[in-house]
A and B are shown apart, each in its own frame.
Chain A
Amino acid sequence: MKRIPTYILLILGSITFSIPFIWTISTALKSSSEYAKEPSRLIPAHPDFSNFAKAWTALPFPTFVWNTIFVTVICTIAQVVTGSLVAYGFSRFTFKWRNFLFFTMLATMMLPGQVTQIPVFLVWRKLHAIDTFFPLIVPAFFGGGAFNIFLLRQFFLSIPRELDEAAMLDGAGFVRIWWRILMPLSGPAVASVALFSFLSHWDAFEAPLIYLNSPEKYTVSIGLRMFQDSYGTNFEQVMAASLVHILPTILLFFVCQRYFLKGITLSGMGGK
């Protein structure tokens, strides 16, 4: 009984928040002639699934999907590992210039990428890495950006130090403490960083656009933009392609929830 207001809020909220998605589905299910005549109707009069097939076959999407999975999976793993190492360094150690370096790291996100786009490109050209996946993947091996590092640092800082000290007394080294204490105790945080980095690489457009030239190396997000056209965009196909594009992320998100369920990670800690 107590839960009824919660459910009402949840259901109302879900409806409101699903509107953009519902509209995407609705448009994807309209035939081009129906979209031309009734672009604003919510429920298509004659649901038409052919847009999915059309969008899928208009471009070599299987190749694009494979490329995107390749880049995204490597980046996500690399980013979680290196990002948490760096966060561990910033949160658990005192060393010279730590605060200065930490602010420098934060500062790297404050300069809009547009003005460093060409200079960064020139660095990669010097490394002969244009039209390869290196420019997309390698940054993930260097901590993967300030966002992840800062986020994980915040979580690491909220875990009591007594736990590391106890482990250290038991003879654990720093790497072991990072892997066996901080990472498991930050389960939801690590899961969110993994999720965010998956999503951001899955949707990444700028870097693939700038660094990839060969269509056989393209990612899905470049393919999606191809449907936009100066001579009138086929919105039904854009929407259908977008749905195909986000389907894996929805599934992943749903599965990831396992790490957000109360009590799994922290039961051990409460008893310590």
Chain B
Amino acid sequence: MNVHRLCIALITLFACGCSTELGAGKINIRYMAWGNPEQMALEEQLCEKFNLENPDIHVKFLKVPGTAYLNKSIVMLASDTAADVMRVDHYNFANLQKKGFFLDLTDLTKADPDWNESDFFPQTIDECKVNGHVYGLNVLFGGTVIYYNKTMMARAGVEDPYVSWSKGRWNYDRFVDIATKLTKKDGNGKYIQFGTAIPVFPSWTPMLYGFGGDFLNSSHTKSALSDPAAVAGLQFISDLRYKYACAPTLAQSSNSAFTFESGKLGMSFDWMGMTPRYRKAVKDFEWDVVPIPTGPVSGQTIVKGNQLVIPSHCKNPKAAWRFARFITSAKIEQLLYVKNRRCFPTRIEVASSKEFSDGTLPPSQIHTFIGAVQGGKQLPIDNRWAEWTTAMNNELDLLWNGREKNAKVVADRATKVIDKVLTEEPGW
């Protein structure tokens, strides 16, 4: 029988599978992140670059599919096998930090002569701090802005939103006016073009903020959605769909029928990080970005980043720190955020560089990004975020799918479920 030979072959194969190539005499660290194949290829290059420049350290890059990233992170953190540097979405940062999974980086920042808090946009530092201690370095920071189809605007003969903005009349009345004019039906009464769309949570938050509303009270202990300002904001969002009919319903927009890149959507609330995708996918119309319209109270947008963290059980925190510093250095930020326009730099120096303002490729109004970050407001992300937003969004579904058109009714229901989550002891 060949069983014997097969066994030997199998054992050999296993042995190959088990051996990990260790850089001889080097400190081996691992970096874990998620992203699409292109983004991963870019980060792979960064790792290679780092390995070349730092002969005493070897970084190995672990790429993980985004949809399963949290699951894998939790298993790794809970079993003390997490990568030495890992990227964490800010949505999960507070929760994981509270469990003591992350190393306090404050001492490392103080010991590093080249790391100065003042080099960074304060918003990006804020996100990484818990009780005054630094637990992460910000990457892929950004806010939502409005992407708009310039060609569609010109064809419909409406004023370019950027012109309205520069003349100081870029408010929600004008926004609705333009959106309504851009919405078109064909001969059979079927919609073929929409002025705007209600984005997925949390990208619609700027409209809530614009009307002076918020999700939670300032101490994050109770829902603030039933406050009149918040109700007005929610009502406005719902009205885009059911009163002004300038945004597609969920059914109409299903199956990617009215995406921005389809050319059938006039204005879209979206993260700055969408730029590379639109640059690639949009071929037959011109587009640009403009700040969020000013509402009755403000024109604030939302900002959020990801954090590079070092797990508390990390064996080589110094090497890990050097790598995290490398990824957030000015040189690399130039590459990530200026050349590739993936989100927004955390360093003021990079954002104010001449290269950053270059608008040869769309979008041309780059200062929209800078303004959005400077005036942006953080989402109330805390360790219960996943739980109360899931509960809230379930109630808001009623408003978004038109089962209930009165925002007050839905806001009261949402308040009830949010308060239930927040008053409960965590862990139950």
The answer to whether A and B come from one shared complex is yes
| Residues of chain A whose beta carbon lies under 8 Å from any beta carbon of chain B | 32-33, 35-37, 39-40, 58-59, 70, 74, 117-118, 121-122, 125, 130-134, 205, 209-210, 213-215, 217, 222, 225-235
* Contact between chains at A131 and B20 (CB < 8 Å): yes
Chain A residues with CB below 8 A from B264, complex form: 37
Q: CA of A225 to CA of B40 in the docked complex: distance in angstroms?
A: 13
Chain A interface helix/strand/loop/mixed: helix
3 A-B pairs closest in CB distance = A225-B65, A58-B37, A229-B36
B13 interfacial by beta-carbon distance below 8 Å: yes
Quick one: closest A residue to B62, CB to CB? A213
B interface residue count range (under 10 / 10 to 19 / 20 to 34 / 35 or more): 35 or more
* Contact between chains at B17 and A36 (CB < 8 Å): no
Bitwise, B14-48 to A at CB < 8 A (1) or not (0) is 10011010000000001010011110110000000
Chain B residues with CB below 8 A from A70, complex form: 13
Q: CA of A233 to CA of B79 in the docked complex: distance in angstroms?
A: 31
Complex partner residue of B37 from A39, A59, A131, A214, CB under 8 angstroms: A59
Q: CA of A156 to CA of B360 in the docked complex: distance in angstroms?
A: 72
Q: CA of A118 to CA of B257 in the docked complex: distance in angstroms?
A: 40
B364 interfacial by beta-carbon distance below 8 Å: no
Q: CA of A181 to CA of B32 in the docked complex: distance in angstroms?
A: 52
Known A213-B30, A235-B256; judge A227-B36 contact (CB<8 A): yes
Chain B residues with CB below 8 A from A125, complex form: 79, 81
- A122, A205, A209, A213 — most chain B CB neighbours (10 Å): A213
**Which residues of B (250-299) have their CB < 8 Å from a CB of A?**
255-257, 259, 261-264, 271, 273-274, 276-277, 280-281, 283-284
- Interface contact tally, CB-CB below 8 A: 99
Q: CA of A225 to CA of B41 in the docked complex: distance in angstroms?
A: 15
Chain B residues with CB below 8 A from A229, complex form: 35-36, 66
Chain B residues with CB below 8 A from A230, complex form: 66
Chain A residues with CB below 8 A from B83, complex form: 213
* Contact between chains at A209 and B14 (CB < 8 Å): no
Chain B residues with CB below 8 A from A130, complex form: 81
Known A209-B72, A225-B65; judge A37-B18 contact (CB<8 A): no
- A39, A225, A232 — most chain B CB neighbours (10 Å): A232
Chain A residues with CB below 8 A from B274, complex form: 231-232
* Contact between chains at A132 and B35 (CB < 8 Å): no
Known A74-B10, A132-B17; judge A214-B60 contact (CB<8 A): yes
B67 interfacial by beta-carbon distance below 8 Å: yes
* Contact between chains at A33 and B283 (CB < 8 Å): yes
Q: CA of A133 to CA of B12 in the docked complex: distance in angstroms?
A: 13
* Contact between chains at B277 and A231 (CB < 8 Å): yes
Known A227-B36, A227-B37, A232-B277; judge A215-B75 contact (CB<8 A): no
* Contact between chains at B40 and A210 (CB < 8 Å): no
**Which residues of B (49-107) have their CB < 8 Å from a CB of A?**
60-68, 71-72, 74-75, 78-79, 81, 83
Q: Shortest distance in angstroms between B49's beta carbon and chain A's nearest beta carbon?
A: 17
* Contact between chains at A40 and B37 (CB < 8 Å): no
* Contact between chains at A121 and B65 (CB < 8 Å): no
Quick one: closest B residue to A77, CB to CB? B6
Complex partner residue of B38 from A35, A58, A225, CB under 8 angstroms: A58
Complex partner residue of B65 from A40, A134, A228, CB under 8 angstroms: A228
**Which residues of B (187-202) have their CB < 8 Å from a CB of A?**
none
Chain B residues with CB below 8 A from A234, complex form: 36
Q: CA of A217 to CA of B21 in the docked complex: distance in angstroms?
A: 13
Quick one: closest A residue to B10, CB to CB? A74
* Contact between chains at B17 and A133 (CB < 8 Å): yes
Quick one: closest B residue to A129, CB to CB? B18
* Contact between chains at A226 and B17 (CB < 8 Å): no
* Contact between chains at A36 and B65 (CB < 8 Å): no
* Contact between chains at A37 and B20 (CB < 8 Å): no
* Contact between chains at A231 and B63 (CB < 8 Å): no
* Contact between chains at A231 and B75 (CB < 8 Å): no
Q: CA of A228 to CA of B40 in the docked complex: distance in angstroms?
A: 13
Quick one: closest A residue to B65, CB to CB? A225
Q: Shortest distance in angstroms between A205's beta carbon and chain B's nearest beta carbon?
A: 8
Bitwise, B325-369 to A at CB < 8 A (1) or not (0) is 000000000000000000000000000000000000000000000
* Contact between chains at B17 and A231 (CB < 8 Å): no
Complex partner residue of B78 from A74, A118, A205, A235, CB under 8 angstroms: A118
Chain A residues with CB below 8 A from B17, complex form: 132-134, 217
Q: Shortest distance in angstroms between A145's beta carbon and chain B's nearest beta carbon?
A: 21
Known A118-B79, A134-B14, A209-B72; judge A231-B37 contact (CB<8 A): no
* Contact between chains at B79 and A37 (CB < 8 Å): no
Bitwise, B378-398 to A at CB < 8 A (1) or not (0) is 000000000000000000000
Q: CA of A71 to CA of B293 in the docked complex: distance in angstroms?
A: 55
* Contact between chains at B14 and A226 (CB < 8 Å): no
* Contact between chains at B68 and A225 (CB < 8 Å): yes
* Contact between chains at B257 and A39 (CB < 8 Å): yes
Q: CA of A205 to CA of B68 in the docked complex: distance in angstroms?
A: 10
Q: Shortest distance in angstroms between B77's beta carbon and chain A's nearest beta carbon?
A: 10
Complex partner residue of B263 from A37, A205, A226, A233, CB under 8 angstroms: A37
* Contact between chains at A33 and B63 (CB < 8 Å): no
Q: Shortest distance in angstroms between A50's beta carbon and chain B's nearest beta carbon?
A: 14
7 residue pairs from A and B, CB less than 8 Å apart: A33-B284, A36-B259, A58-B41, A118-B74, A205-B68, A226-B65, A233-B36
Q: CA of A37 to CA of B341 in the docked complex: distance in angstroms?
A: 24
Chain A residues with CB below 8 A from B271, complex form: 231
* Contact between chains at B75 and A118 (CB < 8 Å): yes
* Contact between chains at B281 and A32 (CB < 8 Å): yes
Q: CA of A232 to CA of B261 in the docked complex: distance in angstroms?
A: 10
Q: CA of A36 to CA of B258 in the docked complex: distance in angstroms?
A: 9
Chain B residues with CB below 8 A from A74, complex form: 10
Complex partner residue of B62 from A118, A210, A215, A226, CB under 8 angstroms: A215
Chain A residues with CB below 8 A from B30, complex form: 213
* Contact between chains at A228 and B66 (CB < 8 Å): yes
* Contact between chains at A231 and B79 (CB < 8 Å): no
- B13, B67, B259 — most chain A CB neighbours (10 Å): B67
Known A40-B255, A231-B271; judge A121-B79 contact (CB<8 A): yes
Q: CA of A74 to CA of B17 in the docked complex: distance in angstroms?
A: 14
* Contact between chains at A122 and B14 (CB < 8 Å): no
Q: Shortest distance in angstroms between B388's beta carbon and chain A's nearest beta carbon?
A: 21
Q: Shortest distance in angstroms between A13's beta carbon and chain B's nearest beta carbon?
A: 25
Q: CA of A128 to CA of B342 in the docked complex: distance in angstroms?
A: 38
- A121, A222, A226 — most chain B CB neighbours (10 Å): A226
